[in-house]
Structure 1
């Protein structure tokens, strides 16, 4: 089991680069099928999908050097933007109709963008995503397959990421909330699962924080069926997005403050049982975890365990009790009175082995490389052996078979170009995103040279496959109308006067199984040279230790590589 020890990519400071108008020439609308959405999103208007649960995220693979993100918001929400798996910036608060323009200066290739909502909704009706803005002529590529699992977390401010970026007793602000850094998001990513956070600060299973009584009018379960926090319609489509695991992490607020207002055993357990039953109806096959934090009151953890055992004893083998045991040290692990990013790592480390043991899931941290690409074909379609200088003078193309990685999926392909198999002396490794075809322009090609593509796959954990090489494409000089000057071949004995013939002639597919045979009408052949139409010697044929009357050519050059026409 790999435990999380270090958080990579924690934002250092907010970066806000916003414009009121689009700055690129191509707008990709939100209904583009190559955009992937995760979490609860309202698509009643496909051109402006709206969301307000913290932790909602969306991603896409784009071409070009820049990418803008169009938002419409009330001005209180914050977002993290990741490019190619690394944090690029955090931005906000988003106010009005704006385009984030900070993603610029990338290499002119394919890139992955992920936009994650950091904050809870405190007012308004949510954030509308209005599309991406790309370089002129650019588009979205087909994204990698979605994660193999789906996890849902139902909780309070801890699950929402309240204070995740705060330090010790630093006063809370919405800018310090970050759902991406929570134990929930960390746990989900560990198991290669997409996730949805259904959490609100101050809410409990039956009693909310600070209320003067054991039962509140709107505890957390009252929001559970809503697509949006602040839109009361209970309209989330559970059937279309079945969770593989649901983790219920409520109870902290029920037993906060003056104990005279705490719910009694029957009140709390009845509410908890009813909620588990509701979750089971929504997700018939899901693992349901009745979860306690080490920071909860002992009374609360006892009641939660009793509820879990009730379902287990009644025969529901997919209900589990998860007791998270960890120690938060102040001030290192605390922010605004809640776990900060360091504290959430400790919580995830406590939860991951519990989930693994109950579900049988292996860690999503992939430790094996993806499969090597089976074949790389020169050209844009079927394999070609040569390109004519008059047709393509500055570009080369290749395409290849897809690689496979069952654990973390294929995140991207890399390709390089060289003048020998495996060499990348012409083009160093270039990120090709998830596309299995590439055309490199702006090259300076030399006539009479064979160029080779090398391709390797990278999985979701950053591990790469061995490189697979193409068999080469010969860059031929422009077709000549004159007979090439061929250097003479001087035999070691008297010059052979006999006429040399080639069989079959013509031959469309020269190979070891279908070679070209050179004969001299019964005379002895000591040696023969194979030349291109431009006069370049590519292979010398000779007898194998004896004088022969026939030499055989399998269509390959002196390096054992198949050559094309020309």
Structure 2
């Protein structure tokens, strides 16, 4: 299924016999592009264990390229049939084509009738590891088309460790509607991705809706999850941290802890304030061990963990102050104000938070 998104509204494209039209390869004579072609630019924690079948799981993971020809198709092998992708043709400023991947291996015609000459594409994963893994099986250009050298990779790098706020859960949902639908989750428009683009920085989004530091809505936490190559649940895959080192790290966690511990008292015996601070500090210190030179922003919000009177910003502040006292000068706090909106942040909230975070990082990093 493919839809378009224009001015933040989703409008269905009517295709006669859509299933048949969207899931067939291009006409005979098309030019196949292998997934391990060096002219493709991948971003994110992609599993290249089999270079000819790279596995995409993390939100905002992307593949980009430049090409000639009048059409483009992509073959995806999706685990669950629940993932959504943005497909941008000729720049990210226009409305993307939104591709819902069916379960199994299918070929999707994502661009046709293009003018002869040079074009570009960007495919980004809107959804998360909880929607399952997707294998990129290849791309196909129109007869006579060719893949060109890739776009330049940004020099700056930024990584986010976060939960549903960072992943963009429900950011495209109606303001007063339910916000847990996969189609309304768009990591590309979360505050994290918007900030990265504003800073011209390559993004790694290490996030999962519902995750916490001490407790989550499922049986694993960020300290269990942060070092995985695959984002599909709690697993034994391991990311090689020497492959990619960020200049800036943003940690936006504890929203789920604030609900499950502070509100619902689900973690027993319940950790006291010092235990909460220690648990948060231990994770941030692990990030520091991995990235000794990175500038770390310990953020929180903009959901109700930062409401007036909430103790959770204080836990973050105390942990950072203790790291300052220990000689770590490249770490600070930033709290996104709770606006009183009781659901997941929508696009406007993400844009406001991104503007604030972007200005903060520019000031601290001289970017």
| TM-score normalized with structure 2 length | 0.87
How many Å separate the matches in 1 of 2:271 and 2:134?
36
How many Å separate the matches in 1 of 2:229 and 2:159?
13
Judge conservation of contact 1:13–1:90 (CA < 8 Å) in 2: no
Mapping of 1:168-187 within 5 angstroms? 168-171=175-178, 172-187=180-195
Judge conservation of contact 1:309–1:321 (CA < 8 Å) in 2: no
How many Å separate the matches in 1 of 2:77 and 2:237?
24
Task: Give the counterpart of 1:249 among 248, 252, 255.
Answer: 252
Task: Give the counterpart of 2:301 among 277, 287, 293.
Answer: 293
Bigger RCO (CA 8 Å, 6+ sep) = 2
The structure with the largest alpha-carbon Rg is 1
- Shift in alpha-carbon separation, 1:348–1:147, aligned structure 2, 3 A: same
Given the alignment of the two structures, is residue 238 of structure 1 paired with residue 241 of structure 2, yes or no? Answer: yes
Task: Give the counterpart of 2:335 among 320, 323, 331.
Answer: 323
How many Å separate the matches in 1 of 2:194 and 2:299?
16
Residues 220-279 of structure 1, C-alpha deviation per residue, up to 9 Å, x if partnerless? 221100011226124211111111111000011101153544642222211112111211
Judge conservation of contact 2:196–2:202 (CA < 8 Å) in 1: yes
How many Å separate the matches in 1 of 2:96 and 2:335?
36
Judge conservation of contact 1:14–1:91 (CA < 8 Å) in 2: no
Judge conservation of contact 2:191–2:350 (CA < 8 Å) in 1: yes
- What secondary structure, in the 3-state scheme, does the structure 1 residue paired with 2:358 have? helix
Residues 365-410 of structure 1, C-alpha deviation per residue, up to 9 Å, x if partnerless? xxxxxxxxxxxxxxxxxxxxxxxxxxxxxxxxxxxxxxxxxxxxxx
How many Å separate the matches in 2 of 1:305 and 1:265?
12
Judge conservation of contact 2:83–2:131 (CA < 8 Å) in 1: no
**CA-atom RMSD in angstroms:** 2.1
Residues 36-67 of structure 1, C-alpha deviation per residue, up to 9 Å, x if partnerless? 11111000111110011111111000111111
Question: CA offset at residue 20 of structure 1?
Answer: 3.6
Given the alignment of the two structures, is residue 65 of structure 1 paired with residue 58 of structure 2, yes or no? Answer: no
Equivalent in the alignment of 1:229: 231
- What secondary structure, in the 3-state scheme, does the structure 2 residue paired with 1:222 have? helix
How many Å separate the matches in 2 of 1:346 and 1:176?
19
- What secondary structure, in the 3-state scheme, does the structure 2 residue paired with 1:187 have? helix
In the comparison of the two structures, how many residue pairs are matched? Answer: 342
Mapping of 1:157-176 within 5 angstroms? 157-171=164-178, 172-176=180-184
How many Å separate the matches in 1 of 2:220 and 2:163?
13
In the TM superposition, structure 1's runs of 4+ consecutive aligned residues that sit over 6 Å from their partners are: none
- What secondary structure, in the 3-state scheme, does the structure 2 residue paired with 1:79 have? strand
Judge conservation of contact 2:41–2:151 (CA < 8 Å) in 1: no
How many Å separate the matches in 2 of 1:199 and 1:14?
29
Given the alignment of the two structures, is residue 130 of structure 1 paired with residue 137 of structure 2, yes or no? Answer: yes
Higher mean C-alpha displacement, 14-23 vs 68-77: 14-23
- What secondary structure, in the 3-state scheme, does the structure 1 residue paired with 2:193 have? helix
Judge conservation of contact 1:326–1:347 (CA < 8 Å) in 2: no
Mapping of 1:343-382 within 5 angstroms? 343-361=349-367
- What secondary structure, in the 3-state scheme, does the structure 1 residue paired with 2:259 have? coil
Judge conservation of contact 2:172–2:346 (CA < 8 Å) in 1: yes
Judge conservation of contact 1:54–1:119 (CA < 8 Å) in 2: yes
Equivalent in the alignment of 1:94: 102
How many Å separate the matches in 2 of 1:112 and 1:75?
26
Task: Give the counterpart of 1:196 among 204, 213, 235.
Answer: 204
Given the alignment of the two structures, is residue 267 of structure 1 paired with residue 269 of structure 2, yes or no? Answer: no
Judge conservation of contact 1:151–1:195 (CA < 8 Å) in 2: yes
Judge conservation of contact 1:23–1:101 (CA < 8 Å) in 2: no
Question: CA offset at residue 186 of structure 1?
Answer: 0.4
Mapping of 1:199-214 within 5 angstroms? 199-209=207-217
Residues 196-216 of structure 1, C-alpha deviation per residue, up to 9 Å, x if partnerless? 11111111111224xxxxxx8
How many Å separate the matches in 1 of 2:204 and 2:63?
12
Question: CA offset at residue 137 of structure 1?
Answer: 2.2
Judge conservation of contact 1:254–1:263 (CA < 8 Å) in 2: no
| TM-score normalized with structure 1 length | 0.58
Higher mean C-alpha displacement, 18-27 vs 101-110: 18-27
Residues 437-466 of structure 1, C-alpha deviation per residue, up to 9 Å, x if partnerless? xxxxxxxxxxxxxxxxxxxxxxxxxxxxxx
Task: Give the counterpart of 2:320 among 299, 308, 312.
Answer: 308
How many Å separate the matches in 2 of 1:92 and 1:303?
40
Equivalent in the alignment of 1:120: 128
Given the alignment of the two structures, is residue 37 of structure 1 paired with residue 42 of structure 2, yes or no? Answer: yes
Q: Gaps spanning 5+ residues in structure 1: where?
A: 1-6, 210-215, 362-566
How many Å separate the matches in 1 of 2:207 and 2:27?
36
Judge conservation of contact 2:65–2:151 (CA < 8 Å) in 1: no
Equivalent in the alignment of 1:104: 112
- Shift in alpha-carbon separation, 1:307–1:227, aligned structure 2, 3 A: same
- What secondary structure, in the 3-state scheme, does the structure 2 residue paired with 1:256 have? helix
